[in-house]
Structure 1
Amino acid sequence: MSFKIRVLVSMLMLLALAIGAIALLAAVKAAAIWFTIVPLGILFFGASIIQTSGWFNKKGR
């Protein structure tokens, strides 16, 4: 898979998880602060985990 496509797919996957978390928080009527903390946490920690696993590294030919 191309480098740019790999980054796009992984970030879209994290965005979908963050939107799902927002929907879940709305369903349980969570406090407003959680609508900021949880999605940003998913995006930042997810991106750092994906980066450390090597998904964002370019493969040299």
Structure 2
Amino acid sequence: MVSKTRVLVGMLVLLALAIGAIALLAAMKADATWFTIIPIGILVIGATVVQSLGWFNKEGH
């Protein structure tokens, strides 16, 4: 089973990282393509890694 609280907290952390990446890209005056690729990549790859590590699974049940 999936712990809804862990999923919410985990995705909020990944969202904060994606927003930080957007701010960094804006400070670097990056091309518009990077504003799409980097944040989506952070969310997708981060969620995949966190899921594969089992952090979203409930413990004890």
Fold match by TM threshold 0.5: yes
Q: How many residues are treated as equivalent by the alignment?
A: 60
Match of residue 24 from structure 1: 24
* C-alpha distance in 2 between matches for 1:4 and 1:32: 34
**Identity level (%):** 68
Runs of 4 or more, structure 1, over 3 Å off, are none
Query: Structure 2 matches for 1:1-61, cutoff 5 A?
Result: 3-61=3-61
Q: 5+ residue gaps in structure 1?
A: none
Measure, in 1, the Cα distance between the counterparts of 2:7 and 2:56: 6
Unaligned runs of 5+ in 2: none
Structure 1 residue 60: Cα displacement? 4.7
Separation of aligned partners in 2, 1:59 and 1:26: 40
**Structure 1 vs Structure 2 CA RMSD:** 1.5
TM-score (norm 1): 0.90
